[in-house]
Homo-oligomer: A and B are copies of this chain.
Amino acid sequence: MKLTRREFSRLGTMAALSGALPEIEAQTGDAAQSSGRKLGWCIVGLGRISMGHFMPGLPLSKTGRITALVSGHRDKAEKQAAMYNVPSPSIYDYDSYDEIRSNKDIDAVYIALPNSMHAEYTIRAARAGKHVLCEKPMATSISDCRAMINACRRAGVKLMIAYRCQYQPLHLKAIQLIRSGAIGQVQAIESAFGFNIKPGEWRLNRKMAGGGPLMDVGIYALNACRYLTGEEPADIKANSSVIDRDGRFNEVEENDGWTMQFPSGILASCNTTYGGDMQGYFRVHGSQGVIEMDPAFIYEGLHLRARTRDGQIIDEPDEQHDPLQFTAEADSFADCIWNNREPKTDGEEGLRDISLISQIYQAAGLREL
């Protein structure tokens, strides 16, 4: 891998800032693209989202391929390795994880572990000189988020949080419509996302999950309110409850409802649940129109509807099928790495949501993160 002069100079600056020359081998966009080499991904954690979505998304990508796996279950990992042509020596477990450092076929890791493990496995990846795409929520505490950001900065690796909606065409269109004034001045937003959780999931363990539905799915509504308005909440009010005393909610809350005020005066009122049927959606009310996405946050089948100031009716179903949201996410990260761009959904973006979730929990009388 060769560095351009500009690339080299950037690395020198980062090294000077961080005090240590990063051990990664940076690729320039030109070099990578002309050589046809793909970004090598190491998948950390073989669960539903990685096996069912992110991994199937990579063969559809022009930029990435799976080159390594990390799992505590060797047999499961071997089956997946066979499917994606991952060589046996590139299967790691959580003890041997740090050895990814010496695997030249790994450029980036995709962290799809329980929330409480995001920080440790991001930091260890950074120390191994690998770029990190980490699932949301970024971590289970603000201090963990900061440690992740610092570790990646120090190692000179990119850190991106996997907010796939921010790379999804209909979400981008909704943002563009709002910014272009198509519905006038935004006044208010409703958004919600939740589901009825089965007992026994790690998501119900406070230590592993950090919190209840707000950490897991309510974060989509929260994040959407931020990218739809382009503002950061200035005031947050919230309630939280447990209704079903059936053993599922001994450690995390079942429901959260919150209302946010943005600096411009825009209000957003949201719900999330682990106890009910709550297909994710948002509805943005402008002075001269409305934009709705319903469903908004699932893997396919999204639907954008709008009534604009000039009388236009938009009724646009999602044309992308699962797992293309994940392909787009992976492609965007490759572009950031190759062209030394900061990811749109970087560590600071992930930290902002964790910080706001902490504020919501505090406002609802629960513990802070």
Q: List the interface of chain A (C-beta within 8 A of B).
A: 183-190, 192, 194, 196, 235, 237-244, 254-261, 264-273, 275-279, 283, 285-290, 307, 363
13 other contacts beyond A184-B276, A255-B267, with CB at 8 A cut-off? A185-B243, A187-B275, A188-B271, A190-B190, A194-B285, A238-B259, A240-B267, A241-B261, A242-B265, A256-B267, A269-B269, A269-B271, A276-B285
Once A192-B285, A287-B196 are accepted as A-B contacts, the answer to whether A267 and B257 lie under 8 Å apart by CB is yes
Max chain B CB contacts within 10 Å: which of A186, A241, A268, A278? A241
CA of A290 to CA of B272, assembled, Å: 14
CA of A192 to CA of B271, assembled, Å: 13
Is A243 a contact of B265 with CB atoms below 8 Å? yes
CA of A277 to CA of B283, assembled, Å: 11
Contacts of A239 in B (CB 8 A): 235, 237, 259-261, 267
Once A187-B243, A188-B194, A238-B237 are accepted as A-B contacts, the answer to whether A277 and B285 lie under 8 Å apart by CB is yes
Contacts of A258 in B (CB 8 A): 237, 259, 269
CA of A255 to CA of B268, assembled, Å: 10
CB distance from A198 to the nearest CB of B (A): 12
Is A237 a contact of B363 with CB atoms below 8 Å? yes
Is A271 a contact of B285 with CB atoms below 8 Å? yes
Contacts of A283 in B (CB 8 A): 192
Is A277 a contact of B235 with CB atoms below 8 Å? no
Once A192-B188, A275-B287, A286-B276 are accepted as A-B contacts, the answer to whether A241 and B270 lie under 8 Å apart by CB is no
Once A187-B243, A187-B276, A194-B285 are accepted as A-B contacts, the answer to whether A265 and B269 lie under 8 Å apart by CB is no
CB distance from A250 to the nearest CB of B (A): 15
Say how many copies of this protein the assembly contains. Answer: 2
Contacts of A279 in B (CB 8 A): 290
Complex A-B: 29 CB contacts under 8 Å: A183-B277, A184-B276, A185-B244, A185-B275, A185-B276, A186-B276, A187-B243, A187-B254, A187-B255, A187-B273, A187-B275, A188-B192, A188-B257, A189-B271, A190-B271, A192-B269, A192-B285, A194-B285, A235-B239, A239-B261, A243-B266, A255-B266, A257-B268, A257-B269, A259-B259, A273-B285, A276-B286, A276-B287, A279-B290
Once A194-B188, A255-B265, A269-B271 are accepted as A-B contacts, the answer to whether A287 and B244 lie under 8 Å apart by CB is yes
Residue of B nearest to A281 (CB): B283
CB distance from A155 to the nearest CB of B (A): 41
CA of A252 to CA of B290, assembled, Å: 23
CA of A278 to CA of B285, assembled, Å: 6
Which of B244, B270, B275 is within 8 Å of A269, CB to CB? B270
Contacts of A240 in B (CB 8 A): 267
CB distance from A313 to the nearest CB of B (A): 13
Residue of B nearest to A196 (CB): B287
Contacts of A363 in B (CB 8 A): 237
Contacts of A266 in B (CB 8 A): 241, 243, 255
Is B267 a contact of A241 with CB atoms below 8 Å? yes
Is A267 a contact of B271 with CB atoms below 8 Å? yes
CA of A136 to CA of B84, assembled, Å: 65
Contacts of A288 in B (CB 8 A): 196, 277
Contacts of A267 in B (CB 8 A): 239-241, 255-257, 271
Residue of B nearest to A258 (CB): B259
Once A188-B257, A192-B188 are accepted as A-B contacts, the answer to whether A265 and B277 lie under 8 Å apart by CB is no
Contacts of A290 in B (CB 8 A): 276-279
